[in-house]
Chain A
Amino acid sequence: AQKVTQAQTEISVVEKEDVTLDCVYETRDTTYYLFWYKQPPSGELVFLIRRNSFDEQNEISGRYSWNFQKSTSSFNFTITASQVVDSAVYFCALSEMEPLVFGKGTRLSVIA
């Protein structure tokens, strides 16, 4: 069975702090994809990144970086120098076949 756990329900940081959002997943498949989506107050899920199970290279995109470790079944997301606009709910998701399986999300509040 597939499962995604985001243990941090809410995180609050002061602007310019770095913050890491944790994601742990469970799957029996050797081929799968991992995702991060951002959900701002407007409600629309915004795609951030997709990583396949065979690519464990870390990725950096501007202030965002992702650390994928198959050995610990984790796919963590770090925001460097956080900004107020980063305030949102962030979801980690797993896909083996078609539908996405989401975690419960982590609500990030960045305080000015």
Chain B
Amino acid sequence: DTGVSQDPRHKITKRGQNVTFRCDPISEHNRLYWYRQTLGQGPEFLTYFQNEAQLEKSRLLSDRFSAERPKGSFSTLEIQRTEQGDSAMYLCASSLNAHIQYFGAGTRLSVL
């Protein structure tokens, strides 16, 4: 039984570039969540999906951020025109309905 998988683990990019992260949830889980974690802080909610439908977006999710889950399986999070303030750990979690959320190891983004 594989857990939540995120790719890449690390990403270094220059300011202004676009980046895309991928999350593969636990196979039978219908809900998928994205969180962002900055140094010394707890994770903060960005958005979540039930199957392919995006049900909620945080005000933290500016219009430069977009998330998709086209077939209700894996999800992608894209950040356009990255800024230094986007540097953070991006965490993905999945759950079966509204039960316990299981997290991946995260993608650490550094914007230079």
Contact = CB atoms under 8 A, between A and B. Distances in A.
Interface in B32-49: 33, 35, 40-45, 48
Interface residues of B, number: 25
A1 to B, nearest CB: 13
Contacts of B105: 42-44
A47 B101 contact: yes
Interface in A21-44: 35, 37, 42-44
B18 interface: no
Nearest to B95: A98
Contacts of A99: 33, 35, 45, 48, 56, 58
Contact of B45 (A91, A101, A104): A101
Contacts, number: 53
B100 A47 contact: yes
B65 interface: no
In terms of DSSP, what is the predominant structure of the interface of chain B?
A: strand
A81 to B, nearest CB: 26
Interface residues of A, number: 20
A84 B11 CA distance: 31
A39 B55 CA distance: 27
For the complex of A and B, list the 4 residue pairs with the smallest distance between their C-beta atoms, beginning with the closest: A102-B42, A99-B45, A45-B103, A44-B105
22 contacts: A35-B100, A37-B103, A42-B105, A43-B89, A43-B105, A45-B91, A47-B100, A47-B101, A91-B42, A98-B31, A98-B33, A98-B55, A98-B56, A99-B33, A99-B56, A99-B58, A100-B33, A100-B43, A100-B101, A102-B44, A103-B42, A105-B40
Interface of B: 31, 33, 35, 40-45, 48, 55-56, 58, 89, 91, 93, 98, 100-106, 108
Interface of A: 4, 35, 37, 42-47, 50, 91, 93, 98-105
